[in-house]
Amino acid sequence: MSEPFAVLDSRRVFDGKVASVRIDRVRMPQGTVAAREVVEHDRAVAVVAVDDDGRVALVEQYRHPFRRRLWELPAGLMDVTDEPPLVTAQRELLEETGIAAASWAVLVDIASSPGFTDEAVRIFLARELSDAGRPPGTDDEESDLRIVRVSLDDAVAAVFAGTIVNSSAVAGLLAAQSAQHRATELRPADDGWSAGPAVTRADGESAFAPLLPGVAGRPDAEGADG
């Protein structure tokens, strides 16, 4: 039987400034062929920047698809060729908030919406903050940002209240609070990163097997969101 999920052919139907769309014809485990629309998007970074008083920096930014402003973490696309994720994160934090940080670690990696896009986001934890000032030449979108610092606990409460809904912000804030309470040892800031969060090793064993008993092997059918 042919390899399941093999891409038989692919065609790009849209090219935009931020995202492109392609349609893949994919062989399913049952032998049928299905069309899968994929939104191609640059990887991105986001930063949970926590100061010595336990306050986290948040930005309020207008998001046109939702036609309203959302509270988010400082973040940005990895759209500079060969720029490491850490350098992108440091640059975005400075450009959006005027904050520099002396201590960095990887907090979590997320797949934004794997049912239709290949976008992946690395979320960093930044500590030992200092005010460095925003560099000149800030673009129109960033000049409209509202920047606040609130306690991490209050930010997490806003997640559960539905005030903060941006996926990177939700994941990053909850992860930061959990790491703080559990004294979790985080990955170094320069930890390697694949094109997207990999959940299956080359040998077919689930990456979660050591953590979740009973989870092993490659699934033989697509998830419900595919």
- Placement of tokens 């069309």 in the chain: 35
Q: How far out from the chain centre does Cα 207 lie?
A: 19
Mark whether 142 is an active-site residue: yes
Among residues 40, 95, 142, 205, the one annotated as catalytic is 142
Element (H, E) at 56: strand 55-63
Q: Residue 170's closest CA among 127, 211, 126, 121?
A: 121
Burial class (CB in 10 A: 0-12, 13-18, 19+), 74: buried
Q: How far apart are CA 161 and CA 136, in angstroms?
A: 36
Q: How far apart are CA 187 and CA 176, in angstroms?
A: 13
Nearest CA to 10 out of 2, 132, 27 is that of: 27
- Residues annotated as catalytic (active site), given as ranges: 142
